[in-house]
Structure 1
Amino acid sequence: MRCARRFMRRPVAPSASGASNSCPVRAATEGWRLKLEQARQGSKYQEVSSLTDDPQDIMNKTPRILFLEDIPADAELAERELRKAGIEFTALRVDTEADFRRALVEFAPDLILSDFSLPQFTGLDALRILHELKTDVPLILITGSLTEELAVECMREGATDYILKSSLTRLPSAALNALEKAAAQRAREAASAARWRSEEQYRELFENANDLIYTHDLAGNYTSLNKAGERITGYTRAEAVCMNITDMLSPEQLARAREMISHKAASGGTTVYELDIIAKDGHHVSLELSTWLIYDADSQPVGVQGIGRDITEHKRAERERDTERELLDALFEHLPVGVLLRDAQGRYTRANRKAAQIFEIEREQLIGMTPEELLQRAQITQPSGQPLQPAQMHSSIAVQTQQSVSPRPALITTPKGNRRRLVASAAPVALSEQGELGSVVVIEDVTEQHAIQEQLRQSQKMESIGLLAGGVAHDFNNLLTAIQGNAQLALRKVSPADAVRHRLLEVERAAQRAAVLTRQLLAFSRRQYLERKSVNLNDTINDIIKMVRRIIGEDVEVRLNEAADLAAVFADPTQLEQVIMNLAVNAREAMPHGGLLIIETRNMELDAAYCRRYSYVQPGRYVEIKVSDTGCGMDAATQARIFEPFFTTKEMGKGTGLGLSTVYGIVKQHDGHINVYSEVGHGTIFRIYLPVHERPTVAEPQAVPAPLAGGTETILVAEDEAALRDLARDVLEGLGYKVLLAKDGAEAVALYEAERERIDLLLLDVVMPHIGGHEAYERMRALNGTTPVIFMTGYSTETVQSRFVKHNRFIEEAGAVLLQKPYNVEGLGRKVREMLDSSRKK
């Protein structure tokens, strides 16, 4: 039968002693008996903590007997019986399970004499513990009484013998018999081991190798398999010798194996190759095989012998490394920063996709470049614009210093002409064990972040300038109110023919021009008074387009492109006319020899991507006003400052520098934003975005001003500027009113408390020392006052309104109106009369 085949088994050499007819087992047994019979003296029980005798040397040592007995006297009787028989031994008594378990390890007994019944423990328990620990120490039960059923059960559980305590005379022979059997078993094991050691060296190598070793005949029938082969394949040797190589190989692998066999049969020698086999449980095992032919006595090949190293884990680790490499390659490729690897020769050997995108250079071109070549190709400079030297390149510094280079900024101009701001860092990289150094460079494109930071910085700067401008305008408005009002009062007292009248008119006109400047400052600081309503910007632009054409001249062509479905915005149309006019004038000055001005409107949806570029913008629906020209354009430095008040590129005395700052302030006050794009020699584009107002536009009738009228009512005026107090008194008294004056809010409250029954109107400055106008008014209302109020201010409605919002009130709810400084005599008289008439109707 095939399964009974054996292949090239060499005979085992005879024993060196020549005693081929001797029995090692019998010799071992006799040795035990001689040792026991030569016992000459007894011994007391010993407390043994640790005994580590080799079981192979047990024949040369005194046997160790473990007594499992809870009654010391019974243990001593058994010991006396053994010593009476001349048996020499070392004894140890235990009476609990825990001590029994410990003694099996530390005392290592050759024989156990156990009582059957112990407190919480029995002889059967002891036998089961021996099974559990897989120890073959013989156990003899010594008991006072034992039923036949228990005796049978104990023998079934592995007891060597059992003896009644009433018949201890049989104990020595039973003990010797048990020791002899144990010795015989050990002797048989020793003989078997000796025979195994006497096998030829090939067999030891075959069986003890960590690698799979096998043989098969030329037909592929396995004839041997070592233990490592059993472990690796899962087949036992008996199973393997009944199998052919076809049973362990897939069709693809079988073809390769047969090819290797044919190759060896034809050429001989050793063949090394990899092969996957199918183990018994179905999983695949990768082997690295070294195979050669086996020859018979006539030097004819009769089979193949092979050694196979299990490289499954190696292959798995290799696959994991490949997977990890692929993962790292994917990570390298998709990093949000650019990465360049430089070798020891100073050339870039690897570049990721982002690096190619940043430099706008094909990756194939980047690879192989030197830092010097990249420096020239990308026009890399320092942030100041100074050229960067090759030795200052991050990769060069990292190699030279053998230290990491902290992030440093740089500017580049890509081959496509795009300017970018970068932050780059580098670190040295060991390329070999010989100390070759390269470097890795990490490049981050911070152009967008820098732009956002610049926008924030510019916004903060403009806000600071706006605060300053608003404060200046407020104080200046107080002065202008006094100048203009007194000039107007003086004009009423001089005749048309008086020479002084011309001077007073010049003062009035100068004050009016100065008031225009302060309004522009207030517009920039977003503190001017707005009369906002729902507006269609097409209508606003059409209202002033003729004026725009007249102002900019015939040498500039004006085109108007309006969206037919333009949404409404919530705005002050007069202020938006000012925006269009200022931008048109700015465009005209940029086209001294003529050109083209285009004004366009359209609806826009500003999404999250846009708002990431402009962090101060909220996403949503907007109306865009685009004003573009073909003028001389602006450089970056000019663009950075065009919205600053008093900044101008004109000659001294030819401009205030408030035109574009006014545009900026008006747009911001309307919750919009403005962007500018310009290139020198290529014109300028302004884009204004105003949020859409969902309410429909409604045409409002134009009010016809009524003739100026006076009255006899009593008015309380609170103003901290003495000139303005006197002006208000003169104007109002000139119109027939009775006037009470207060220099601050506290004095006004005191006057009101004393005279509130006859006071018909309050005229309060918003900003005064100690107590402002809004707080003074709140205190007056607390006195159950219902007197109407007019607030005077050099600031805007929004500024005044914010003070009331803090108290959860609004100007309208308080029954108040606002009088913007600088006001003229007629404006003050008309506002007072309107407020008095309105309160009387209520």
Structure 2
Amino acid sequence: MKWKQDNPTPVWVRTARPAGLLNLRPRPDPMVPGRLNFSARRPITSIAHNTMRSRASVTPASGQEKSMSIERSPPQAPRAVYDGPEATAAPRPAASARTSRDAFDGQRSSVSRTELFRSLFEHASEAMLALDSRGRILLLNRPAELMFGYDREELIGELVDSLIPDHVRERLRVMRRPLQASAGIGTKGFRQPASARRRDGSELPVEVTLRPLRIEAGSCVLASVRDVSERLDLESNLRQAQKMETIGQLVTGVAHDFNNLLAIISGTLELVHGALPDDEEIRDDMDAIRGACNQATLLTRMLLTFARRSEAEPKIIELDQAIEGQARMLRRLIGEHVQVQLKLGLGAWTVEIDPLQLEQILLNLGGNSRDAMPSGGTLTIATSALQLSSGDSRLLPSMTPGPHALIVVTDNGHGMDPATLDRIFDPFFTTKQIGSGTGLGLATVQGLIRQSRGNIWCESAPGRGTTFSILLPRAEQSVEESIVVAEPAPKGGRQTILLVDDDPHVLRVTRLMLERSEYTVLAASSGEEAIEQVTQHAGPIDLLLTDILMPKMTGPQLARHIQALRPGIRTLFASGYAECPPDGEATLHADERVLVKPFSIRALTEAIEEALQP
């Protein structure tokens, strides 16, 4: 093959054998001094000045790749350029080339490896930089440009320290030292979490891998930089989810024990209340205790709702009246330095929502407003009626046009910038310090509102406060129409109930409630004792009423044993959990009923009558 060594323009050359014409462009190689790269259809051809014999692959005009053995004459030899149908004669050819049958015969030159490295380097998925012994950047690829925000021309020749924050610079410098030394070529390299600095000064978490690399110009360090921001966010979210799962399990266990205590208190109150003389003052005191028990029951439901272990119980409520009642708790939550103003304009308008969920929504929004006003301020809750047409942008697909109640919660706190505003409903997103927030509050609020076929949106600006707007569809019923007139509690007949509970106090109170309802009761404090009662009792047993979680034998296990001894016996489970606990040995069948503690005599007798229905 013939070429003109000092000609920077493309030249045509012809191979010794009829392989076609080649259009080659010579380029100096920045990594290998004295080397020219010749590019044909693909830039993979290079000729080394300090090598008498080498191999190169080129693509001839025919499109077929050929492997060539290149023999070069000394530099002072006359040269010739192919510039026409025939080559200009030369006393000694500058180089000759002969084709080889196999382009991949295992004898590729270092030149081919260099070009392969360059191609892999440029097309790597990670940001990569080659550094010399002083930490100057020799090469970088396109992902590095995108990561750091620089063009490569701006970085080549510059110290890599400009891309490293001060607090990790010395640590990475120490890592590079053994790799930059010639003795470090045999080492495996290092991987280290670190931080990188972009052009705009922002930092991002990265994982840096440093490896030694030998090139003809000497040794250098190859740095692979991986952005681990997304991975760290996922790991943080996973830890947060695991923490919330642990909290949920703790809350569920506490609520179970608390509900057992409430079952004892409320059951005893109901029994005593029925035996009291007609003394108005005593009955008022008993009613106050019963009200406290009901409030405690609501608190346990709030805990279970927070832990996502409780089903929603929507009810028809007058929205203004509910907000006015919940404002008392809200004022205690946010403190005296924030004034709470109510501007309620719905009157007797009703909505259908779980009262506990409404309270959770207002407490969460109020808590966020308190945090936005550390020096004090005003929190305003206003309600009004709104008619939404079918084309209204505030209607979600799950919503229907028509009358809606609008709740507007406004504070005059520090507000939010657009970037924060865009993410406030994202799970786990929080602007609070570590330990001060979970990032789940507003995501939960949005989920609760949409569960009630409503919508929520936010408007805010730095220094101008924040406004949350909530839409809830108006209920078709009034509160009076939704209330079912209570009938007297049904009385038990001559049915026999096998009652099982491992808590002796719950067992005693429940037995008295059943006897007050004129049932015949067989009581047992364990599964083994219940099985013994069944074997010894000669008469019929109509219903098994058992706790779910008990030592040694769970309620469902006990039910299977007794159903084998007494086929046809009906079963009713009682539990302090809001739903069946996640225990493989306590799994219920789909048609089996659960009575949640605490329960009244009416709820108990109604559940029994329903379980005894054929």
Q: Which residue is 2:604 aligned to?
A: 832
What is the deviation of 1:587? 3.3
Between 1 and 2, higher relative CO (CA 8 Å, sep ≥ 6) is seen in 2
1:717–1:739: 8 Å Cα contact kept in structure 2? Answer: yes
| Aligned position for 2:501 | 719
State the 1:744 CA deviation. 1.3
SS of aligned partner of 2:220: strand
**Offset at residue 792 of structure 1 (A):** 1.0
Larger Rg: 1
In structure 2, distance between residues paired with 1:252 and 1:792: 88
| 2:309 aligned with 1:527 | yes
Matches within 5 A, 1:592-741: 592=373, 593-594=377-378, 602=396, 631=413, 638=433, 642-643=437-438, 703-712=484-493, 713-741=495-523
- What amino acid does structure 1 have at the position aligned with 2:606? E
Q: Contact between 1:462 and 1:644, CA under 8 Å: does it hold in 2?
A: no
After superposition, what is the alpha-carbon deviation per residue over 1:804-828, rounded to whole angstroms, capped at 9, x for unaligned? 65x7x32x2xxx32211222xxx2x
Offset, 1:586: 2.9
Match of 2:118 in 1: 329
Q: 1:410 aligns with which of 194, 200, 213?
A: 194
1:590 aligns with 2:371: yes
2:288 counterpart of 1:512: no
**Unmatched segments (≥5 aa) in structure 1:** 1-210, 213-230, 235-247, 254-276, 293-303, 383-387, 533-538, 559-570, 605-626, 646-658, 671-675, 687-697
- SS at 1:453 equivalent: helix
CA separation of 1:818 and 1:742: change in aligned 2, threshold 3 A: same
Q: Cα distance 1:793–1:458, how it changes in 2: closer, same or farther (>3 A)?
A: same
Q: Quick one: distance in 1 between partners of 2:523 and 2:355?
A: 35
Q: How does 1:206-605 map to 2 (within 5 A)?
A: 306-308=91-93, 311-313=96-98, 327-375=116-164, 379=165, 381-382=167-168, 388-389=169-170, 392=173, 394-395=175-176, 398-399=179-180, 402=184, 403=187, 405-412=189-196, 414-416=198-200, 418-430=202-214, 437-495=219-277, 497=279, 504-505=286-287, 507-529=289-311, 544=319, 547=322, 551=327, 576-577=357-358, 579-592=360-373, 593-594=377-378, 602=396
Q: Distance in 2 between matches of 1:284 and 1:430?
A: 26
Residue by residue over 1:601-655, the C-alpha shift from the partner in whole angstroms, topping out at 9 and shown as x without a partner, is 7469xxxxxxxxxxxxxxxxxxxxxx9988557965646663499xxxxxxxxxx
Name the one with the larger helix percent. 1
Structure-1 separation of matches of 2:152 and 2:17 = 49
> TM-score, with normalisation over the residues of structure 1?
0.46
Are the counterparts in 2 of residues 477 and 794 from structure 1 also a CA contact under 8 Å?
Answer: yes
Alpha-carbon separation, structure 1, partners of 2:145 and 2:343 = 44
Structure 1 residues 233 and 423: CA distance shift in structure 2, 3 A: closer
- Cα displacement (A) at 1:487: 3.1
Q: CA deviation at 1:340?
A: 1.2
Separation of aligned partners in 2, 1:390 and 1:314: 52
Match of 2:595 among 800, 811, 819: 819
**CA distance in structure 2 between the aligned counterparts of 1:251 and 1:779, rounded to whole angstroms:** 90
2:566 aligned with 1:790? no
Q: Cα gap change, 1:444/1:291 in structure 2, threshold over 3 Å: closer, same or farther? A: closer
In structure 2, distance between residues paired with 1:484 and 1:544: 29
When the two structures are aligned, how many residues end up with a matched partner?
476
- Other-structure match for 1:747: 529
Q: Partner amino acid for 2:155? A: L
> Contact (CA 8 Å) 1:718, 1:743: kept in 2 or not?
yes
CA RMSD of aligned residues (A): 5.6
Q: Secondary structure at the match of 1:312?
A: strand
| TM-score normalised by L of structure 2 | 0.61
Cα distance in 2 for partners of 1:249, 1:820 equals 89
Cα 1:666–1:392 shift into 2, 3 Å: farther
Report the alpha carbon displacement of residue 447 of structure 1 after superposing the two structures with TM.
1.0
| Alignment match, 2:49 | none
| Separation in structure 2 between the aligned mates of residue 443 and residue 684 of structure 1, nearest angstrom | 40
Answer yes or no: is the 8 Å Cα contact 2:500–2:530 preserved in 1.
yes
**Cα distance per residue 1:464-513 (max 9 Å; x no partner):** 22222222221222122112322333334444658766665554444334
Q: 1:769 to 1:252 in 2, by over 3 A?
A: closer
What do residues 422-462 of structure 1 show as CA deviations (whole Å, max 9, x unaligned)?
111213334556xx543221111111111111222222222
**How many Å apart are 1:394 and its aligned residue?**
4.5
Evaluate the alpha carbon distance shift between residue 519 and residue 389 of structure 1 in structure 2; reply closer, same or farther with a 3 A threshold: same
* 1:480 alignment partner, SS class: helix
Matched, 1:799 2:581: yes
Q: What is the distance in 2 between the residues matched to 1:408 and 1:453?
A: 18
Task: Evaluate the alpha carbon distance shift between residue 601 and residue 507 of structure 1 in structure 2; reply closer, same or farther with a 3 A threshold.
Answer: same
Higher strand share: 2
The 3 A distance-change label for structure 1 pair 341 and 335 is same
Q: Secondary structure at the match of 1:311?
A: strand
Shift of 1:312: 1.3
Change (3 A) 1:354 1:802: same
Matched residue type, 2:523: L
Q: Distance in 2 between matches of 1:717 and 1:799?
A: 20
What is the aligned partner in structure 1 of residue 471 from structure 2? none
Deviations 1:214-250 (A, max 9, x none): xxxxxxxxxxxxxxxxx9669xxxxxxxxxxxxx998
CA contact (8 A) 1:643 1:664 kept: no
AA matched with 1:312: A
Query: Could you tell me whether the CA contact under 8 Å between 1:544 and 1:577 is conserved in 2?
Result: no
Structure 2: gaps of 5 or more residues? 3-14, 25-59, 80-88, 331-338, 345-351, 383-392, 399-408, 417-428, 453-457, 469-475
- Report the CA distance shift for 1:800/1:684 in structure 2 as closer, same or farther (over 3 A): farther
- Quick check: 1:791–1:819 contact (8 Å CA) kept in 2? yes
